[in-house]
Each structure stands twice: as structure tokens, then as C-alpha cells.
Structure 1
Amino acid sequence: MANGFNETEKPWSTLVTRWAGREDVRDTEKAAADQVGATVMSRFTVRSDSGTRGVTAKDRIRHDGWVWNITGIKETRHGRGRYLEITAVREAD
């Protein structure tokens, strides 16, 4: 599948589907090249298992119709490694 630059793109596929809690932590608005862009940063909390431990910053999250870019993944301080906290950003509407 080629994009507008005639580069081959790999289609995205589902790696894992899990329930998650989401907390919005920041929203920002930037002006660059005479365009204004806004982003939302959220933290997703998921149970740590073999599927979720395979998620990396190269993956994306699809939630509520939005695509989120993962910026960080860590074990939570609570629950003795039972949960992962995934920080991700998306464009604001």
C-alpha cells in the first residue's frame, strides 16, 4: 500500500485488546508555521499480562475512535507489577 509520497506503508493490525482506565493529564496548543495544533496527553492503566507486556512505543492505542501515539510505558507503583501505565498523546479535536 503506497502513501502520497509513493512510499510503501504497512497496515496496522490489532496486537491486543484489553480494558483500560484512562486519565487525561494534559492538553496543549502550539502554533508553528502559522498553524495551530492541539494535543491531549492521557495515561492508560491496564492489567499487566503477556499481551500488554508486549506493547512498545512503536505501537498505537485505538480508543474512543481516536488513535493515540504511545510515549511511555511503565509498571505502576501500586499492585506489585500487576498493572502497566501507558502514556500516550493524540491530536485534539
Structure 2
Amino acid sequence: MIGRPRALLDRRVQFRRATLVTTGFGSDWKWNEVAPDADNIGLLVWAQKTPISDGERWRAGEAAAHVTTRFVVRWSLFSSGITPKDRLVESGQVYDIHGIKELAGTRRQWLEITASARTDQ
């Protein structure tokens, strides 16, 4: 039987969704930089956290430290609606979501979320 013991779900994560803002030139997704909690959606979700890698990237002349992490959450109607356009927050660290998939052999039981966060801010 494939499954995850409940004890491994030892983190609480919050998901955030940007707001669609209409401008004079069309629409764009905007994050609330002044009050980030205003972007929260749903309730806190139990998750398992597994670090994948960390490192530095050079972009536009700046060094940025980042960490890539996998989170596993229970499948639910809410969690199945999360997309890579959303963000995940765990212990105050904000992660950009890169991928979401059902774990192999666990149809509608577990979702694996791959996300990365800057660690130099």
C-alpha cells in the first residue's frame, strides 16, 4: 500500500493567489506587496517538506541565493485547485511554485509541489 504516515505532515503551509488587476492596457496578475497576507487563500494545510537543492544564481549582475523544496500535501478539492501561478508560504518563507503533480500510485491522495524561494532577502 502506498501512503504517507500522518507524522510526516509536520508543517503548516499557506497558499497565496495574486489578484487580477485591469489596467488601461489589459489585465495583469499583481501581488499585494504592502499587505501580503491579503493574498492568502484557503486555510493552513498540513505538509511534508523535503529540501532538494540550494545554490546561487547570477541574474542581471546580482547574486541570488535560492532553495528548491518539495512539499507533499493531501489531495483535496482546494489543494487540487492550486496552480504554478500561486505561491506557498511556510514559516514566513515565500516560495514560487514550479510544478504540481499527483504522487505515482496515489490517485487523489497526495500532491507533490515543487517550489523555490530566495534565501537572501
What is the TM-score with the length of structure 1 in the denominator? Answer: 0.80
- Cα RMSD, aligned residues only: 2.1
Structure 2 gap ranges (5+)? 1-28, 33-38
Structure with higher helix content: 2
* Structure 2 residue matching 1:18: 3-state secondary structure: strand
Runs (4 or more) in structure 1 with deviation over 4 Å come to none
- The aligned counterpart of 1:47 is 74
Contact 1:75 1:85 in 2 (8 A): yes
Choose from 76, 84, 87 the match for 2:103.
Answer: 76
> Aligned match of 1:38 in 51, 56, 65?
65
Q: 2-side partners of 1:34 and 1:61: how far apart?
A: 27
Instruction: State the alpha-carbon separation in 2 of the partners of residues 13 and 80 from structure 1.
Output: 27
Q: How many residues align?
A: 87
Question: Which structure's residues are more often strand, by fraction?
Answer: 2
Residue 15 of structure 1: aligned partner: 42
The percent of aligned pairs where both chains have the same amino acid is: 35
Partner Cα separation in structure 1 for residue 91 and residue 114 of structure 2: 16
Q: Any unmatched runs of 5+ in structure 1?
A: 1-7
